[in-house]
């Protein structure tokens, strides 16, 4: 079953949002166009409490984008984003959510970040996404969303570790850090992931 996973296509990651991905909104028409190509569509949603420890404001004296040790894991400190119940946590208003069968929320645990849609960053707690997909007999996964080099990347890497086929749809994802995105793509291909354009579907 060919499955599309839309990662964190939320307002705070769009231009003008709290943690904007440059030109992040350009992926929305692409995603809407390719949705009919898939048998199953699911989405992930960053859903942080305001007290989340990945937010720089919750560490007095620390600055945004500084790297700290958080409970034994390296943690980049972000501006507050995708806070539960706020407009910034909502999906982009133009994204066609009607075909989305399930939404998997992540980043809800105050003391640990969750880039991947499958697990938190310490791989301590599952979101249930892997079990859901296996129950649906969905093995062929395609990824899009934001940010391509962070949450999309980590979700795709975990999909490969869980034994799924994983493909990044390049023009349906946009990176936060364009300079290092090439290295991210090379790593995806090196460990068995594929990268295609939407035209190749």
Catalytic (active site) residue 189 = no
Catalytic (active site) residue 11 = no
Query: Cβ(150)–Cβ(75) under 8 Å?
Result: no
Please tell me which residue in 8, 46, 113, 149 is annotated as part of the active site. 8
DSSP category for residue 100: E
DSSP category for residue 101: E
Please tell me which residue in 12, 53, 151, 158 is annotated as part of the active site. 151
Residue of 49, 81, 83 whose CA lies nearest to 65: 81
Catalytic (active site) residue 106 = yes
Locate 17 and state its tokens.
């949002």
Q: 154 vs 39, 62, 63, 80, CA distance in Å?
A: 23, 25, 24, 20
Please tell me which residue in 11, 82, 106, 149 is annotated as part of the active site. 106
Alpha helical stretches, state H, 23-87? 27-34
Q: Which residues are catalytic?
A: 8, 106, 151
């Amino acid at each position: 079953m060919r499955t599309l996973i839309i990662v964190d296509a939320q307002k705070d990651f769009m231009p003008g949002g709290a943690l904007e991905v440059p030109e992040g909104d350009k992926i929305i028409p692409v995603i809407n166009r390719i949705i009919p190509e898939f048998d199953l569509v699911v989405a992930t949603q960053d859903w942080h409490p305001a007290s989340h420890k990945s937010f720089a404001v919750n560490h007095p004296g620390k600055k945004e984008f500084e790297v700290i040790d958080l409970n034994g894991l390296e943690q980049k400190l972000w501006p507050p984003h995708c806070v539960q119940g706020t407009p910034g946590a909502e999906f982009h208003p133009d994204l066609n959510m009607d075909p989305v069968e399930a939404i998997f929320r992540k980043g809800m645990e105050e003391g640990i970040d969750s880039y991947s849609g499958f697990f938190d960053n310490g791989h301590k707690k599952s979101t249930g996404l892997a079990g859901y997909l296996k129950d649906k007999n969905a093995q062929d996964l395609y990824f899009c969303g934001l940010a391509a080099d962070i949450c999309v990347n980590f979700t795709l890497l975990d999909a490969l570790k869980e034994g799924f086929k994983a493909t990044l749809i390049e023009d349906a994802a946009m990176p936060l850090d364009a300079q290092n995105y090439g290295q991210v793509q090379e790593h995806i291909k090196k460990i068995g992931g594929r990268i295609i354009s939407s035209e190749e579907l």
